[in-house]
Structure 1
Amino acid sequence: MRMSKGVEWAIHTLLNLDMIGGGPVGSGQLAEAHGLPAPYLNKQLQQLARADLLASTPGPRGGFRLTRPLEDITLLDVVQAIEGDTQLFHCAEIRCCGKIGELSPPPTGACAVKVAMHRADEAWRQALAAQSLADIRLELDRTPTIRSVVRSALN
């Protein structure tokens, strides 16, 4: 399984907005702060806004701002906003294909591989849902200068 860079960018952006008081900050400023391509980051910001994790304020002093505190945003919220809510594993029922499929009786239950992979997918989602961005912010707060660095980069 591989997630796009957009997930990492989205998490950092949400954390950065929190560190400066929630926003609004323009997408160009947010992109420049980490040296990211502005058009691509803007795509991630729009996806976060569609998921109601960010709100967009138009105008010269506008930009993106958090819609709720980091305590109310989980890693699963961000992953689903950027990657979607699709299952990671899609069973193609290869147990029914080829010579093995021809020689085997028709299956009567769910594919054991599919069941195991869906169980693992659910455990992964539960682990993401159990971690809020506030948990990550607590880790970041152990770096004494991080908030002042982010504020300087975004002002």
Structure 2
Amino acid sequence: MKLSDGVETAIHCTAAVAGLPQGAVMAAADLAEFHGVSASYLLKHLKALVKADLLVSVPGPTGGYRLARPANEITLLDVVLAVEGPEPAFRCKEIRRNGPCAPGPSAFPRPCNINRAMLKAEQAYRAALSQTTIADLNSEFLATSDPRVVERADNYFTAQMRPQKT
């Protein structure tokens, strides 16, 4: 299974925004610059995160993005579904019923065993993604990353974030 590059971008941006102080926001252009992606590309994914109620978009010249709920309530599955949609990765088209050797639909009264196996794997995959939160990712990042990376990221976000009045 191959997820779109947008999933990686969306997870990184959600994790980055989760590190902002309460009430602060980060502009899309600054998130794009930080991650080395184009702003127009990033906006598509930020809009999906807003639509899924994972991020809030604050309008205006001092606006930007912030989390819609606490980081410990946003899972990797939430972000993946926001970007990729809810459809399973494997979609059985029942090709076993096609071709010159298929005797007709009545020969296939039970669901496709390949489809069942693939959906079982999808359920396991989604269950694993639902067990990791953005807060978990940020805690691990702080605990395991090179201190220079943490310091540079902190300095960038401190300089670029936009405090909001509450």
Q: Compute the TM-score of the two structures, normalised by the length of structure 1.
A: 0.92
1:125 aligns with 2:138: no
1:151 aligns with 2:136: no
* 2:18 maps to amino acid: D
- 2:35 aligns with 34
- 2:91 aligns with 90
- 1:11 aligns with 11
Q: What value does the CA root-mean-square deviation take over the aligned residues?
A: 1.8
Q: Is the 8 A contact 1:19 1:147 kept in 2?
A: no
- Tell which has more relative contact order, 1 or 2 (C-alpha 8 A, sep 6+): 2
Q: Is the 8 A contact 1:24 1:64 kept in 2?
A: yes
- 1:25 aligns with 26
| CA distance in structure 2 between the partners assigned to 1:49 and 1:128 by the alignment | 20
| CA distance in structure 1 between the partners assigned to 2:62 and 2:104 by the alignment | 69
Q: Go from structure 1 to structure 2 and tell me whether the alpha carbon gap of 1:48 and 1:104 turns closer, same or farther (over 3 Å shift).
A: closer
Q: Is the 8 A contact 1:75 1:133 kept in 2?
A: yes
Q: Which runs of 5+ in 1 are unaligned?
A: none
* 1:73 maps to amino acid: I
Shift of residue 112, structure 1, vs aligned partner: 0.7
| CA distance in structure 1 between the partners assigned to 2:74 and 2:19 by the alignment | 15
1:49 aligns with 2:50: yes
Aligned length: 155
Q: Is the 8 A contact 1:140 1:146 kept in 2?
A: no
Q: Go from structure 1 to structure 2 and tell me whether the alpha carbon gap of 1:47 and 1:104 turns closer, same or farther (over 3 Å shift).
A: closer
1:63 aligns with 2:50: no
Give the secondary structure class of the aligned counterpart of 2:101: helix
Q: Compute the TM-score of the two structures, normalised by the length of structure 2.
A: 0.86
Shift of residue 151, structure 1, vs aligned partner: 2.6
Q: Which runs of 5+ in 2 are unaligned?
A: 160-166
